[in-house]
């Protein structure tokens, strides 16, 4: 597809190394007291073995996109495939999730996608994969795509340019509502004048129409506040008249 977009999300990678001569009697990291943790550059020599395990795992389990399509939202319609592998960046081995889309994501959709993938790394696919034995000469490694401390995805600089930032919201002009207490026509007049001065005069008719159709003064002020920034004066304390208790009290 000519308009296909490909995003790469990088994430930290660690692994537990369990030597064959471990005295524990268990070969699972959860039961081995002191596994050696491999990170960054120490994982680079194991790249081929990890990639082979990932390829085999993807062949025998549901793919990321198969899981993703069950979620609601427009972002699901854009995702064509999700592939998880590893790659070297700055001399370190990292997780690399490639997402292929039929069109760009908005910032909100990008956050939703990363939230979904984080959940898959921690409690879904990643939780299953980290229990997979990857046999090496002299021992076994167990690879973790999820990290408990400060896990996040890094988006490549070129990929960040493909995320739709959307139009910037116009700055709302400011008005002070001191004076026209309870007079919605005076409020509209000030708001309309501020909008025209800010070059947003085309919004005045729409604002007036919505205010005239509102059901209360409070609702009307809420509508006005969508078009201008409003400073409401603090209500001044007014002396309350003493109740007439009569001469006999």
213-237 pLDDT per residue, tens: 988 888 888 888 888 887 655 443 3
Residue ending a domain, among 129, 160, 191, is 160
- Does residue 58 belong to any structural domain of this protein? yes
**pLDDT for res 42:** 93
Averaged pLDDT for residues 178-188: 71
Q: What is the DSSP string of 35-57?
A: PEEEEGGGGGGGHHHHHHHHHHH
3-state secondary structure of 163: coil
Q: Are 11 and 43 in contact (CB under 8 A)?
A: no
**pLDDT for res 15:** 93
Exposure pattern of 110-139 as b/e (b: 16+ CB <10 Å)? bebbbebbbebbbebbbeebbeeebeeeeb
**What is d(CA 83, CA 99) in angstroms, rounded to the nearest whole number?**
7
Nearby residues of 198 by Cβ (< 8 Å), 6 or more positions away:
171, 173
Whether 156 and 178 map to the same domain: the answer is: no
Whether 135 and 185 map to the same domain: the answer is: no
- Does residue 247 belong to any structural domain of this protein? no
Whether 36 and 138 map to the same domain: the answer is: yes
Averaged pLDDT for residues 87-95: 92
- Domain span at residue 77 reads 5-160
What proportion of the chain, given as a percentage, has pLDDT over 70?
Answer: 71
**pLDDT for res 249:** 43
**What is d(CA 25, CA 104) in angstroms, rounded to the nearest whole number?**
51
Whether 134 and 202 map to the same domain: the answer is: no
Residue ending a domain, among 126, 160, 194, is 160
User: Which pLDDT band holds residue 182 (cuts at 50, 70, 90)?
Assistant: low
User: Which pLDDT band holds residue 62 (cuts at 50, 70, 90)?
Assistant: low
Between 241 and 23, residue with greater pLDDT: 23
Residue ending a domain, among 160, 193, 219, is 160
**pLDDT for res 231:** 67
The 10s digit of each residue's pLDDT in 190-215 is 899 989 888 888 899 999 999 999 88
Whether 152 and 70 map to the same domain: the answer is: yes
Whether 97 and 26 map to the same domain: the answer is: yes
- Does residue 239 belong to any structural domain of this protein? no
- Does residue 133 belong to any structural domain of this protein? yes
The 10s digit of each residue's pLDDT in 4-19 is 788 889 999 999 998 8
- Does residue 237 belong to any structural domain of this protein? no
Whether 140 and 195 map to the same domain: the answer is: no
- Does residue 22 belong to any structural domain of this protein? yes
pLDDT of residue 170 exceeding 70, the answer is no
Least confidently predicted of 22-26, 133-137, 145-149: 22-26
Whether 124 and 63 map to the same domain: the answer is: yes
Please state the domain count of the chain.
2
**What is d(CA 114, CA 127) in angstroms, rounded to the nearest whole number?**
17
pLDDT of residue 113 exceeding 70, the answer is yes
**pLDDT for res 20:** 82
Whether 15 and 106 map to the same domain: the answer is: yes
Whether 179 and 156 map to the same domain: the answer is: no
Strand 174-176 relative to strand 229-231, pairing: parallel
Whether 180 and 136 map to the same domain: the answer is: no
Whether 185 and 80 map to the same domain: the answer is: no
**pLDDT for res 88:** 93
């Amino acid at each position: 597809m000519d308009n296909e977009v490909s995003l790469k999300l990088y994430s930290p990678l660690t692994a537990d190394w369990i030597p064959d001569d471990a005295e524990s009697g268990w070969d699972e990291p959860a039961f081995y007291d002191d596994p050696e943790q491999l990170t960054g550059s120490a994982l680079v020599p194991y790249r081929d073995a990890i990639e082979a395990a990932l390829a085999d795992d993807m062949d025998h389990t549901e793919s990321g996109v198969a899981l993703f399509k069950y979620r609601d939202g427009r972002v699901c319609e854009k995702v064509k495939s999700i592939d998880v592998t590893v790659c070297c960046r700055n001399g370190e081995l990292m997780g690399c999730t490639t997402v292929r889309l039929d069109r760009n994501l908005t910032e909100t959709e990008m956050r939703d996608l990363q939230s979904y993938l984080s959940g898959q790394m921690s409690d879904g696919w990643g939780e299953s994969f980290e229990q997979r034995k990857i046999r090496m000469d002299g021992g076994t490694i167990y690879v973790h795509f999820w990290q408990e401390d400060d896990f996040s995805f890094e988006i490549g600089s070129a990929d960040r340019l493909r995320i739709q930032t959307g139009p910037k919201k116009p700055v709302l002009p400011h008005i002070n509502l001191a004076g026209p207490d309870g007079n919605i026509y005076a409020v509209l007049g000030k708001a309309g004048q501020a909008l025209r001065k800010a070059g947003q005069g085309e919004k005045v008719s729409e604002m007036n129409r919505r205010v005239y159709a509102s059901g209360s003064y409070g609702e009307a002020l809420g509508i006005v506040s969508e078009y201008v920034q409003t400073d409401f004066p603090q209500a001044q304390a007014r002396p309350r008249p003493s109740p007439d208790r009569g001469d006999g009290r």
